[in-house]
Amino acid sequence: MNFSNTGSSSMWMALTRIAVGVFFIMFAQYKLLHRDFAHGGYEKYVHSYEQESSVNFYKPVLNKTLQHPVIVGYAVGVIELLVGVSMVLGWWTKTFSVVGALFLLNLTLATWKLPPGSASWMYLGRQLDHIPLILLFIVFIAHDAGKTLGLDQ
């Protein structure tokens, strides 16, 4: 598929890409500049995901990250920062869109389950902060979103 990287749709795509990047940078700065997330917060979240909301086959992956929670906690912030900077600058957009989509897939698998008896529509409703961003990253890849207002060539 070839999309034009000129015109108003490309401009809106670029502005959307930049906005997504700003959000990722905001989330990263909390994790990297404040000790709370890496030193206890990450571990608390993962324990809660493991006990309450993770899909069964993903629990061993979550458990493995708890062997080094501080390192993984900071790594989460670094990944968010790299994805954010990439989106803002339009630099290596396709590569970091894949990274961003996989990162959000991780969060989706960790938070998928609801308490027994929950209405079925709530499963997807609960993921409205993950799935639309995954879809945006897919669109960024297909559209070469880094070529407009970005450093990708």
User: Which tens digits make up the pLDDT trace of 30-77?
Assistant: 999 999 999 999 999 999 999 999 999 999 999 999 999 999 999 999
Q: Which token pair is 47?
A: 């324990």
By CB atoms closer than 10 A (0-12, 13-18, 19+), residue 72 is middle
| pLDDT reported for residue 125 | 81
| pLDDT reported for residue 2 | 42
By CB atoms closer than 10 A (0-12, 13-18, 19+), residue 64 is exposed
Q: Which sequence spans correspond to the domains of the chain?
A: 8-147
Name the strand (E) or helix (H) holding 8: helix 8-33
Q: Which token pair is 39?
A: 């030193």
Q: Are 91 and 146 in contact (CB under 8 A)?
A: yes
Query: 136: closest CA among 89, 109, 98?
Result: 98
Question: How do residues 113-145 score in pLDDT, each as one tens digit?
Answer: 887 888 878 877 888 989 999 999 999 999 999
pLDDT at 94 over 90: yes
Q: What is the pTM of this model?
A: 0.90
Query: 139: closest CA among 100, 109, 112, 85?
Result: 100
Longest dimension (CA), the chain: 51
First to last CA, the chain: 17
